[in-house]
Amino acid sequence: MAKNLVIVESPAKAKTIEGYLGKDFVVKSSFGHVRDLPIKGDKAIDIANDFAPTYVVSADKTKVISELKSLAKSSEEVWLATDDDREGEAISWHLKEALGLKDNAKRIVFREITKPAILQAITQPRTIDMDLVNAQQARRIMDRLIGFELSPVLWSKVQKGLSAGRVQSVAVRLIVEREREIENHEAVATFKVVAHFDLPGKKVLKAELSKAFAKENDALDFLKKCVGAAFSIKSLETKPAKKSPAPPFTTSTLQQEASRKLGFAVATTMSVAQKLYESGRITYMRTDSTMLSQEARDKAKAEIESAYGAKFHHSRQFKTKSESAQEAHEAIRPTDFANHSITGDAREKRLYELIWKRAIASQMADALIERTTALIDI
């Protein structure tokens, strides 16, 4: 039996990590959460006792817990290696409680599944962060209280099968309020005048009048005055300009861009990103940070200078706008910038390419462009 038991939440993740750690380690999966509030009865949350929750081992996890308990007893050390976020921290805490581990059980975290990251995590264990655990518990308790209390009201007052929730109910209200604003909006029409001038060499110059007309008749009157007029370019001004790259992806910006460019639904994006993370291709895909580690920026620099030249590199550290963002975390990026593409199914290839381009571009020099303004005289 191996000396060390490492517990993660995903079987795919377990297989990859076990290959990095060697024969002294066995890596097993909890297959997600192992305990939850009981579904039936009113004993799940003791509201009078500071909302104290009662947890039970999920019915489908009884066998998993039994196997993990047996392995934990025969191992010299147990390492809790679930995801580095609130849910992951809660899973580690529930595992500690369900397996009867000591309070100082070793907790390790990593943001990418690569051999260097895993080996470094083993050298820097910590204890379970109860602040993160309590944050997750508060979320779970709120979900239960709001969902269980309000959903039956919807069934009796509106329609059977509807559900209420901590997030979804607020989101529905925002949508309804926005829809009412749209319905009540009084549109004000304006009329623009756009001209296409045929130039020598079959070129076309598109020009737009600097002002818009409030009435259609005014626009038509102006067009009538233009009939037969002689047009000339009064002045031509060219100014240099720069365009800076966007920051690397957060979870939300990845979902938005994958929808816009690839046509992926949110669930598809997260499912494919999960596979890329578990196979060691990208960093953890649930993040609200736009920051890159110094090591990542150095690797990006080396790849940019090697592939494109030193003049195309410009190191940047983007500051995360969200006040609640966890700055210790990184944005979504490739684990190896040298891999411009990967093997895998078509969706994995496309999403990886999107992530790689966005991350590498964030460390490149501004695009140099020219803006030319032509003033046309009648």
Report the alpha-carbon distance of residue 128 to residue 109 in Å, rounded.
10
Does the pLDDT at position 91 exceed 60?
A: yes
Active-site residue list = 284
Q: Is 306 left (phi over 0), alpha (psi -120 to 50) or beta?
A: alpha
What is the mean pLDDT of the segment spanning 101-106? 92
Provide the pLDDT for residue 308.
94
CATH of segment(s) 4-137: 3.40.50.140
CATH fold match for the domains 4-137 and 251-368:
no
**SS3 state at 286:** coil
Say which CATH topology domain 251-368 has: Topoisomerase I; domain 4 (1.10.290)
What does the pLDDT look like over 309-366, one tens digit per residue? 999 999 999 887 655 545 457 999 999 999 999 998 999 999 999 999 999 999 999 9
Provide the pLDDT for residue 375.
86
pTM (2 d.p.): 0.78
Distances (CA, A) of 105 to 40, 78, 128, 190: 32, 7, 7, 68
Q: What is the DSSP letter of 228?
A: T
Q: Where are the domains of the chain?
A: 4-137, 143-184, 194-229, 251-368
What does the pLDDT look like over 198-241, one tens digit per residue? 888 888 988 899 899 999 999 999 999 888 888 888 888 899 99
DSSP string, 32-45: S--EE--SSSS-SE
Query: Which amino acid appears at position 188 of this protein?
Result: V
Q: What angle do CA 44, 49, 55 make, to 5 degrees?
A: 25
Report the alpha-carbon distance of residue 278 to residue 32 in Å, rounded.
14
- Pseudo-torsion of CA 227, 230, 235, 239, nearest 10°? 50
Provide the pLDDT for residue 280.
92
Report the alpha-carbon distance of residue 189 to residue 180 in Å, rounded.
20
Provide the pLDDT for residue 92.
97
**SS3 state at 254:** helix
* Neighbouring-strand partners of residue 282: 334
Residues 280/335, Cβ–Cβ less than 8 Å = yes
Report the alpha-carbon distance of residue 265 to residue 212 in Å, rounded.
39
What does the pLDDT look like over 60-81, one tens digit per residue? 999 999 999 999 999 999 999 9
Does the pLDDT at position 378 exceed 80?
A: no
Q: Is residue 42 very low, low, confident or very high in pLDDT (cuts 50, 70, 90)?
A: confident
Q: Is the dihedral of CA 10, 11, 17, 21 positive or negative?
A: positive
Share of the chain above pLDDT 70, in %: 97
Q: What is the token pair recorded at 137?
A: 């518990």
